[in-house]
Amino acid sequence: PEVRECASRRSSSGNTGYEGGYNSEVIFTVEKAMKKYSSNLFSFLEGISGRLSQLELLCSTIEKDINEFHSDLAHKHNEENLKFIDLVKHLQE
């Protein structure tokens, strides 16, 4: 957006700020190409942003699943420890 604003300000003011033998057709062509490439770049960056959002969501889901797995594993480990302690007590009797 900033590139577009700068280009529109230059063309609307009538003073392009260019010194030398550049004619208006060359300036127009260059500005048109700049707008095209900046538009393509912004579209590309929006695509990357969308993919990063998807990746963030996926990582969050994986993190949640890992935490649940860890919790389940700890719970089962505690159950096994209690069973082992009961078995040891039973054997001691």
Residues 6-22 have pLDDT tens digits of 555 555 555 555 555 56
Token pair in block for residue 67: 């935490």
64: domain range? 2-92
Buried b / exposed e over 69-83, threshold 16 CB at 10 Å, is eeeeeeeeeeeeeee
* Structural domains in the chain (count): 1
User: Is this structure's pTM higher than 0.85?
Assistant: no
Q: Tens digit of pLDDT for each residue in 21-38?
A: 568 899 999 999 999 999
